[in-house]
Structure 1
Amino acid sequence: MTRLYMDTWAASYGAAFQGGDGPSSPSTAKIETHHEVDTEAWHPIVAPEGVRPPDVVLLVDGVQRVDGTLSTEEDDGASFPGLAASYAAGVVRCDLARGAAELAGAQVARALFTASPSVGDVIAGQVRYAVHKVSGSGELSKLQGSVQGPLTALEVEISATARTDGDLLVVDGPLRGRRHLPRTIGYVKTQQSQYLPPALALVVTALRPWQRSPVFALGTAWGGWSWYMRLPGSSGAPWSGIVRVECSPDLSIEQAVELANLSLVTLPRFASTSYKDPRAPQNLIPIAGLERRLRGLLGDPRLLHRALTLATARLT
């Protein structure tokens, strides 16, 4: 008999699983599933006795916003689009020993992304948009993706200032350019592709809260060691509350398993609830608070748009 489930993740955010037909859409990435547990013996895993969360957990995230789109007129008659964007990164320090959380650092940056060879920084009132040259034709549809690199660099910079011995750094999203950071995991809350074959995907959907899958190797350009876990507070639907966690491919399988067990006793305690967060339980409580704080730091978008309009009018 067909079963229906209501996803606890609010429909206005899409779905907790995204892309194609959801998590059943196969990925072309090469997957190795035998490293921690033989593929034929895959089963849900609980954390071994004695594994305790670290005293300090750092959660880092970044936000970005388009403040305005511009275009240039070059001396030779050519024209290039530009994207004025604000972005910010911050880190929350959760002291589990004291039961306290605080903003450990935040930084805002603004830039004009364009392929124009001649444009300079744009001064909009009291705000400077530093020019960031992009390669290629600089199509407007692709410019927003150019913000991710500087934003990742800002996240690395801000998290480095807050690190202490023995902490665990949790990055909201894939690790990307942060795979070199020690004791760092990437937290992927939306599942865009199904990396595992159907038989092993059944192991994932059979997970109960506070359980994880075995560690597997994800052979993509951005991949590494990875595993799935289910957070508490899910609706019971097959993929509800399922998140994917990853760590650096430079680690040994033993080190990856250690981080997997550490994440299993740490991340579920931060799971959100549906009456507080429309992206529950995947949107971790410290991350949700950090996002709100960072978006506030970006400033009033209406004032910035007006300042950009006046600045470009003066240049014209």
Structure 2
Amino acid sequence: MRIRLDPWPVDTQDGQLTLKPFAGLVFDAETDLWAAIPTRGIPERMRRILVVDGKPRMEARLLLDDGAGALSVAGFGAFVVGAVDLCPHGSRQAQLQGVSARRVLAYSGDAPLEVARLSPRNPHSGVLEYQPHAFAGAQVEGARAAVQTLMLRREQAMSAELASPLPLDETDVDALPDTLVLQDGPVRPGEAGRAVVGYVKTLHTDYLGADRIGLLTALRPGERTPVLRFKLGDRGDGAGEGREQRFTWYVRLCDAPFYQHPLAGVMRLEMHAPEDTDFVPRGVQDIADLSGALLCRLASQPHKDPRAPQNLIPTAALEQAMGRAMGSAEMVTRRIRAHLAGQYGSRVVA
């Protein structure tokens, strides 16, 4: 028996590797030859890369009483979505874009709530304004899920707004976009036809099977697998055909140290696939070809980030900026307590 280390820190939500087999069908889309494909570099035509990510946070759980004995759950939450705008050729400095906090009062009751405005004692601290948002159900974690959903919707909208259109022609020589969006996590509905690549940092699902996964351990930095195609939600039992088609491929960012598992340093990428899946659109092909060079350039180092190399350098910078935008969690909690005390502290319950 050989014991290998999962490189990600144990206090993260998930490990870097779990590999649950994909229940549906996966098809070759680029070639029938299952072998490593070298990177072809980043063409001059591509001038702009945007890395998009979001960060949610629950700030307080609430219990609502309508005065007639009916109880419901709610919560104060916040989220930030932003982007890092950079040049893939290093000709200009990277810039943060759109990093601002949005606050939500998520509730499950039938009666609509008003906007909650938390005024500070110090006028320089600013007003915290929580917009009401109703969610279905009465689960304790419903408010957290509502904040997460709102964040993902904003991520999707920002990615679609920033990315160039992506022609779906098979032979268009101008199909490579000048602006590419790298989105943390899988691509999402509504981004089809745009140059959006989802990068999945954790390998939780095995799309390859035992006969093909060995290629991932043999990849050298910058190399990738051929492009594959699958249907999201396909269970492989004939009961459902899946919701939409996606392309996916794997890229190695760095060699794994001998003491880590051999898939350390491998990242999975995905893009939307058109319904006509007899070919890989030229734009997707070109993006796959440059993905190795781009991601190796953006990959982080273990001495800088415990989730290296998959947690890209722009992603880590964006996470820090988003944390600052939401403010100190401890200070926000104090203001929530002061707000509730001011609203209800003088009331006497019989």
TM-score (norm 2): 0.80
Structure 1 residue 113: Cα displacement: 1.3
- Output the aligned Cα RMSD: 2.4
Q: Which has the higher helix share?
A: 1
Amino acid in the other structure paired with 1:130: Q
Secondary structure (helix, strand or coil) at the match of 1:297 reads: helix
Identity %: 27
Secondary structure (helix, strand or coil) at the match of 2:213 reads: helix
Cα distance in 2 between the residues matched to 1:155 and 1:181: 16
Partner residue, 1:3? 2
**What stretches of structure 2 of length at least 5 have no aligned partner?**
120-126, 165-176, 234-243, 345-350
Amino acid in the other structure paired with 1:141: E
Do the aligned partners of residues 188 and 209 (structure 1) sit closer, same or farther apart at CA in structure 2, a change above 3 Å counting? same
Structure 1 residue 159: Cα displacement: 4.9
Partner residue, 1:239? 263
**What stretches of structure 1 of length at least 5 have no aligned partner?**
none
Do the aligned partners of residues 49 and 230 (structure 1) sit closer, same or farther apart at CA in structure 2, a change above 3 Å counting? closer
Partner residue, 1:132? 133
Do the aligned partners of residues 130 and 181 (structure 1) sit closer, same or farther apart at CA in structure 2, a change above 3 Å counting? farther
Amino acid in the other structure paired with 1:226: T
Partner residue, 1:152? 152
Do the aligned partners of residues 307 and 48 (structure 1) sit closer, same or farther apart at CA in structure 2, a change above 3 Å counting? closer
Structure 1 residue 235: Cα displacement: 2.4
Cα distance in 1 between the residues matched to 2:2 and 2:45: 36
Secondary structure (helix, strand or coil) at the match of 2:216 reads: helix
Partner residue, 2:51? 59
Do the aligned partners of residues 162 and 227 (structure 1) sit closer, same or farther apart at CA in structure 2, a change above 3 Å counting? closer
Residue correspondences, number: 306
Amino acid in the other structure paired with 1:166: D
Partner residue, 2:225? 213
Alignment of 1:126-275 (within 5 A): 126-135=127-136, 137-159=137-159, 166-180=178-192, 182-221=194-233, 224-232=246-254, 234-235=256-257, 237-250=261-274, 253-255=280-282, 256-275=284-303
Structure 1 residue 232: Cα displacement: 1.8
Secondary structure (helix, strand or coil) at the match of 1:179 reads: coil
User: Are 2:107 and 1:114 aligned?
Assistant: yes
Cα distance in 2 between the residues matched to 1:310 and 1:65: 19
Structure 1 residue 53: Cα displacement: 8.0
Cα distance in 2 between the residues matched to 1:160 and 1:195: 26
Partner residue, 1:43? 35
Cα distance in 2 between the residues matched to 1:51 and 1:163: 17
Amino acid in the other structure paired with 1:253: V
Amino acid in the other structure paired with 1:55: R
Do the aligned partners of residues 149 and 81 (structure 1) sit closer, same or farther apart at CA in structure 2, a change above 3 Å counting? same
Structure 1 residue 302: Cα displacement: 1.4
Residue by residue, what CA displacement relative to the aligned partner does 1:81-101 show, whole Å, maximum 9, x if unpaired?
112111101111112330521
TM-score (norm 1): 0.88
Structure 1 residue 52: Cα displacement: 6.2
Residue by residue, what CA displacement relative to the aligned partner does 1:195-228 show, whole Å, maximum 9, x if unpaired?
2211111222322211111111121147611111
Partner residue, 2:170? none
